[in-house]
Amino acid sequence: MRRALVTGANRGIGFAIASGLALQGCEVLLGARDLTSGENAARRIGAAALELDVAEPDSINRALEEAGPVDILVNNAGVLGSAPLLEDPQDFEMSMAVMVHGPYQLLHHLVPQMVANGYGRIVNVSSGWGAFSDGVAGPGAYGVAKAALNALTVASARTLPSYVKVNAMCPGWVRTRMGGQGATRSPEEGADTAIWLATLGSEGPTGGFFRDRKPIDW
């Protein structure tokens, strides 16, 4: 049984990804900043909860000590500020901490065991708002952080053996607290590509950017 860690998984897209992986037979570790919220969500899908704030290195270290080896990592946690890019350094720092530094730290700690075990799947939940092909159109620091997450995807995939696959995906506009109720997709629709990438076979892609299971431009 594969062990999967999904960050920011107590609600929204993250919960839908965790639920989908549980249905695929994975042992799921549901990461959440608030442990009570995480435990409530985990019980619904037969998963285990981890208290995990990806913006805090100490929290990452504690969570990974509890988690043990992980076969599948889904970097889903995200934040969306509203301030103009150059007017709010705190928003910029938090965006980079949650969506770049946190994922990097998780890869740093978890990838060596994946390499040793001869298997790993890493999915970075990104956004078209972080794509240069769309003008890095995300508001405030969000687009910059997602663009950096995309770069981390490409660079890390290039350094790893093919049996440890690293890909990014765009879930589209999803009805979550971040996306709003006017969004066009359900969390389950947004999660589908992430679940697919998290369970790729040996011939699956690595170092790519996907939406609806199809490659999209960086």
* 142 catalytic residue (yes or no): yes
CA separation for the pair 29, 62 (Å, rounded): 14
Name the residue among 3, 154, 161, 144 with its Cα closest to residue 74.
3
Catalytic residue among 104, 119, 142, 163: 142
Q: Which residues pair with 122 in a beta bridge?
A: 73, 166
Return the amino acid letter for 154. V
Q: What are phi and psi of 210, to 5 degrees?
A: -135, 150
Alpha carbon separation from 165 to 68, 71, 118, 212 (Å, rounded) = 20, 11, 11, 18
Name the residue among 175, 174, 176, 214 with its Cα closest to residue 196.
214
Enzyme catalytic residues = 142
